Amino acid sequence: MAEFFTRVQMEGAAAIIRNRSRYQPTVGIVLGSGLSEVANQVKFPDIIPTDQIPHWPVSTVAGHSGRLILGRLEEKVVMVVQGRAHYYEGYSMDQITLPIRVMHILGIQTLIVTNAAGGLNPEFVAGDIMMIRDHINLPGMAGNNPLRGPNDSSVGPRFPDLTEAYNRQLQEIARNTAVAEGFNLKEGVYAYVAGPSYETPAELRFLRNMGADAV
């Protein structure tokens, strides 16, 4: 039987972060490939190597340094995850999602996740920024859902409604910011596949026909 983290284990990881930082973050930011420099914008940071946090998955991918940076970014107190682990590195879904559950325990209510992806929409070009409106979780639909296993109602419901998985207010902020900064923000549906191999041409056609704009 698969093993799942208990509330006590997640609380233990959160306690390490609380004890080593002056801050109570309200916003979590997960940095994807090529975006690690964003962490340098955090003011007066407390830095915690993730390999010093019990149960925290450590990335083996180049460019994912494995640090938490807590501090001030603009007018918010943030916790930035600089370097994240991936499912294809051999971790379980429970391990991969542990950082998100720990953020929830820390009181973080707003989560911004970034990543590099491949474009499927023919109107996209390399370097475009796409805001995710919806997603297709293929491994999850096949049974490898991160919510599989014992449910902790203090973290969330057994059967969450994903009709509006992405906050509309935050989407509008992103749109307004794009206009103010003068760049063309794309929007679309993101398809999640397990990796690490890239998709075959047939798989790309399949994903596009399903309605995905990026993978």
Domain boundary among 73, 94, 116: 116
Q: Identify which has the larger pLDDT, 155 or 149.
A: 149
Pick the closest to residue 138 from 212, 61, 188 (CA basis).
212
Q: CATH no. for residue 185?
A: 3.40.50.1580
* Average pLDDT for 3-12: 91
State whether 71 and 102 are in the same domain: yes
**What integer pLDDT is reported at residue 129 of this predicted model?**
94
Q: Are residues 3 and 98 in the same domain?
A: yes
Indicate if 110 and 20 belong to the same structural domain.
yes
26, pLDDT greater than 90: yes
Contact 133, 188 (CB under 8 A): yes
Residues 136 and 41 in one domain: no
What local confidence, expressed as pLDDT, does residue 65 receive? 74
Residue whose entry in the numeric block shows the structure tokens 């807590």: 70
Average pLDDT estimate for 148-159: 87
Q: Say yes or no: 176 and 188 in one domain.
A: yes
Q: What percent of the chain has pLDDT over 90?
A: 80
User: Is residue 201 located within the same domain as residue 96?
Assistant: no
* Res 136: pLDDT: 98
82 and 135 both lie in a single domain: no
pLDDT digits (tens, 9 = 90+) for 61-75: 765 578 999 999 999
Domain containing 37 equals: 1-116
Distance CA(68)–CA(71), nearest Å, equals 10
Burial bucket for residue 70 (CB in 10 Å: 0-12, 13-18, 19+) = buried
Kindly list the distances between the CA atom of residue 111 and the CA atoms of 30, 138, 174, in Å, as whole numbers in the listed order. 8, 22, 13
Same domain, 110 and 136: no
Number of domains in the chain: 2
- Domain co-membership, 48 together with 131: no
What is the model's pLDDT at position 64? 57
What is the pLDDT at residue 62?
66
Tell me the one-letter amino acid at 208: R
Please say if the pLDDT value at position 41 is more than 80.
Answer: yes
Cα dist. 77→27, 31, 54 in Å? 7, 16, 23
pLDDT reported for residue 1? 44
Six token digits for residue 185: 């923000």
Average pLDDT score over the chain: 93
Last residue of a domain, one of 116, 131, 162: 116
Q: In this structure, are strands 67-73 and 43-49 parallel, antiparallel, or unpaired?
A: antiparallel
111 and 50 co-located in one domain: yes
pLDDT digits (tens, 9 = 90+) for 71-128: 999 999 999 999 888 999 999 999 999 999 999 999 999 999 999 999 999 999 999 9
Is the domain of 122 the same as that of 84? no
DSSP conformation letters of the chain: ------HHHHHHHHHHHHHT-S---SEEEEE-TT-GGGGGG-EEEEEEEGGGSTTPPPP-STT---EEEEEEETTEEEEEEES---GGGT--HHHHHHHHHHHHHTT--EEEE-----B-STT--TT--EEEEEEEEHHHHTT--TT-SS--TTT--SS---TT-S-HHHHHHHHHHHHHHT---EEEEEEE---SSPPPHHHHHHHHHHT-SB-
Domain boundary among 116, 140, 173: 116
Higher pLDDT, 154 or 163: 163
Cα separation, 195 vs 134, whole angstroms: 20
54 and 121, same domain (yes or no): no
Closest of 213, 110, 114 to residue 169, by C-alpha: 110
